[in-house]
Structure 1
């Protein structure tokens, strides 16, 4: 009986013909492909999407340039708050940002002198004595020397600052805080990554020392964002 059932099963498979065999092979191939795709997604496939907004490890010169740009934007945008915002909490946060990022600007200037090969183009923080100052002349924000406050900013940060200049009232506050959350998240990622895997020991030490302050800034900005929504 068992032999008969086996023969009948074999005959059924043969009756199904090559199409059934091909379908079985295709299903197996799809299963393998699905496992491979899943493995790639788990290992590397989702990595770019998950970390698209996170700063990668950069060279020492690029780290100084990015850190300098971050400081410039923080000071410029926060000075603008003193001119345009009527929200006491937002203004208090902005004062905190001006104070802290002016300090890191000065520290970075000193580091530039100590890092070998960091020419004038490695980082371009605001020189001492030229911290940005807000004025009310036609809504234009200037620094202490009378030049545009976005002087030295790249295209991306200039556009962000221009958005702030065009906003008013509660819309301005929400936009400023939203920008602060995003910019500080980028800064935290940048400093965290460089402090762990950077190529210059001196800069790595400074990044590690500065990181807790940036993390605190991010937490304050996120908390402030909750209070300015709506």
Structure 2
């Protein structure tokens, strides 16, 4: 069932991407298909297990930091650059805080050291984008919707109270990033 859903989403994304002139159709389709896949992952595995949460939150932070660094290099738009700096700072702080929780030994989880294939694809697409600001903002809306699903879903976990508190704490800045990205998208 999940495979059929993913295939359908990918097909719809490819069709939608065919109408986009400014971004490579394959990259546009990959970005479009990433959003529902990320939401499904965040809502299921990520929000329900300690290891799933740690992995998804850490990779999400790594992606956000790398994407923000690219935006700070490439964007000429002051509002996009301001958002990128805020995202970079907040996700760096969130990543460091979670690292301290994991390294304290109170939970049984390991921090990933590199991006997963999906988010590496997003970074690659961002680097190749001719219409950079539009692609960056679209990716940020999708990534922050996914992150909110993940963190809000984990915030009430009794089996890892320190991580649950972290999830609740970072939800506020993530929601602010999402609101700013949506405003820029309009």
State the TM-score, normalizing by the size of structure 2.
0.73
CA contact (8 A) 2:42 2:56 kept: no
On the 8 A contact 1:59/1:199 being kept in 2, the answer is no
Q: Distance in 1 between matches of 2:72 and 2:176?
A: 21
**What is the aligned partner in structure 1 of residue 43 from structure 2?**
55
In the alignment, structure 1 residue 165 sits paired with structure 2 residue 165: no
CA offsets 1:101-135 (integer angstroms, 9 cap, x no match):
1111110110102343535xx2136xxxxxxxxxx
Backbone CA RMSD of aligned residues: 1.8
2:135 to 175, 180, 185: 175
Instruction: Answer yes or no: is the 8 Å Cα contact 2:75–2:132 preserved in 1.
Output: yes
The 5-angstrom pairing of residues 1-230 of structure 1 reads 52=40, 55-56=43-44, 57-119=47-109, 122-124=110-112, 152-168=114-130, 171-197=131-157, 199-226=159-186
If asked which structure has higher relative contact order (CA below 8 Å, sep 6+), I would say 2
CA contact (8 A) 1:78 1:94 kept: yes
Normalised TM-score (structure 1):
0.59
Structure 1 segments of 4+ aligned residues over 3 angstroms from their partners: 51-54
Supply the distance in 1 between the matched residues of 2:87 and 2:142 (Cα, whole angstroms).
Answer: 14
Specify which structure has the higher proportion of helix. Answer: 2
CA distance in 1, matches of 2:89, 2:100: 17
The CA deviation at 1:197 is 4.0
Change (3 A) 1:81 1:165: same
Looking at structure 2, the residues matched to 102 and 54 of structure 1 have their Cα atoms a distance apart, in angstroms, of 20
Gaps of 5+ in 2: 1-38
